[in-house]
Amino acid sequence: MSTTRTAAVDVGNDAIKAIFGKMDSELYIPNVIARDIEDRPVIGIEELDQQDPIEGIHIRVHSPALLENNAIYRVGSLATKSDNPFELDPGSSKSEEDQTLIMLFAALALDAVNENQAAVFKKTNNVIDANYTLGTGLPLREVKEGKDVGYRSKLIGSVHQVEFLITPKYQGLKVNIKFDEVKVYPEGFAAYINLVMDNHSNIINRDLIDKQILIQDIGGLSTDIAVIKNRKVDDDKAQGFNLGVAEALEAIREEIRKKHGVELDSRRDVVEIITKKNDRNHIMVRGSRTSVHDITDRILGELAKKQYRHLRNVWQKNSQTEICYFVGGGSIVLKDYLKTLNNHLDGYNIDFFEDEKESIWMMSNAYYKLITDFVRKNSKVEGKKQEQKAGSTK
């Protein structure tokens, strides 16, 4: 039987965050792709293998799960430098987009070709056969619509191949990806698990266990508000909205272009401008440090009002709620605006994760806890079956 490797992958609208093995490896890749040609031009091709593969992901992806099969892509940072970078649009369903699968396969392939996995996966010539047990998730709205079943079926039972083309260190290598198991979790429930459980399934926040809480997960394209009662998501009360930060980021990008003549490559550049530690909300215009505070404050302030309106509506329908946790990359962008609104208006008991990395990696950490718990329990069941089988043959 082939060796399987655990993978916990959050294909976020802003970036993919993945944790592998026993937390021995992690990957962060901006969720941007661009169609490309096989022989992409490279300056300094001789020094290519001295560069970071993450900065130069150039792949061909073959999978029966894809609508556009056998296509060639730039992925992540390399795609942002293309003339035709593609980021997911508002209103799209994560479970139905080729881009979600391309990002997922790229992350798994990058893990598989890493030299540290040489003893884990079989390699024949330039082809690596990689088996994964995957924990991932979808927005509550899509899970409520049953799209998790179709998403899982796309992955299970097929071979998905990633061929590295002009990628530093890995060009010429192919990875055949198979899934031994795929667990697709609702994102709101995953966030709750991350709040109350450690990596060994021990309870770490006992005071939250029996509370009624809200978790408002603000992403790039959508917002989920999970209502947690009796240690599980209340499916009837949970709500999903096609409202994320992507449209606001695009609006900021466009206004900066119109007002200052500065072209930003992607939404990722806007996020960096509004979240960086130093010179926040400033850009360089013809070599001069220039504030864009007026643009960001107006656009993000309006988005925060819409997000707060959703919070208010859900809280009113769940009046015994004790606290709402804001999670996701969008909550980092809107945190100050939401806090100000709340102080001036209803004064709800709300909380944010001050550690930005913890908030950004919350979903992948949750999937890791859930999938490793599944693997642990499954191993015990298999162990008992083997014991019973051995006993019956005596």
Residues 6 or more apart whose Cβ sits within 8 Å of residue 198:
204, 369
pLDDT for 310: 95
Residue 166 has pLDDT above 60, yes or no: yes
Give which of 30, 122, 126 is closest to 78, Cα–Cα: 30
> Is residue 352 a contact partner of residue 335, using CB atoms and an 8 Å limit?
yes
188 CB burial (10 A radius; 0-12, 13-18, 19+): buried
Q: Is the pLDDT of residue 106 over 70?
A: yes
Sorted by where each begins, the domain ranges of the chain are 4-185+365-384, 210-360
Checking if the pLDDT of 321 tops 60, the result is yes
pLDDT of residue 203: 82
Residues facing residue 323 across a β-bridge: 213
Angle between helices 329-344 and 293-317 (to 10 degrees): 80
Residue type, 218: I
Backbone angles phi, psi at 85, to 5 degrees: -65, 145
Pull the structure tokens for residue 44.
Answer: 């300094």
pLDDT of residue 1: 45
Q: What are the distances in angstroms from CA 104 to CA 108, 116, 265, 333, 352?
A: 6, 20, 23, 25, 28
Domain 4-185+365-384: what homologous superfamily? ATPase, nucleotide binding domain (3.30.420.40)
3-state secondary structure of 227: strand
| Tokens matching residue 74 | 């730039």
Indicate the fold that domain 210-360 takes in CATH. Answer: Nucleotidyltransferase; domain 5 (3.30.420)
Whole-number percent of the chain with pLDDT over 70: 94
Express each pLDDT in 195-235 by its tens digit: 888 887 788 877 778 889 999 988 888 888 989 887 777 87
Kindly report the average pLDDT of the chain as a whole number.
89
The pair of three-digit structure tokens given for residue 120, joined into one six-digit string: 């884990």
State the pLDDT at residue 179.
97
State the angle between helix axes of 362-392 and 187-196 in degrees (0 to 180), rounded to the nearest 10: 80
CB 74 within 8 A of CB 36: yes
Residue 180 amino acid letter: D
pLDDT digits (tens, 9 = 90+) for 347-361: 999 998 767 777 788
What's the mean pLDDT in 376-381? 80
pLDDT at 193 over 90: no
Q: Name the H helices within the chain.
A: 77-80, 98-113, 140-144, 147-155, 187-196, 206-209, 246-260, 267-275, 293-317, 329-344, 356-360, 362-392
**Mean pLDDT across the stretch 77-94?**
83
Q: Do domains 4-185+365-384 and 210-360 have the same CATH topology?
A: yes
Kind of pairing, strands 288-291 and 282-285? Answer: antiparallel
pLDDT over 50 at 107, yes or no: yes
Residue 196 corresponds to which tokens in the numbers above?
């109350």
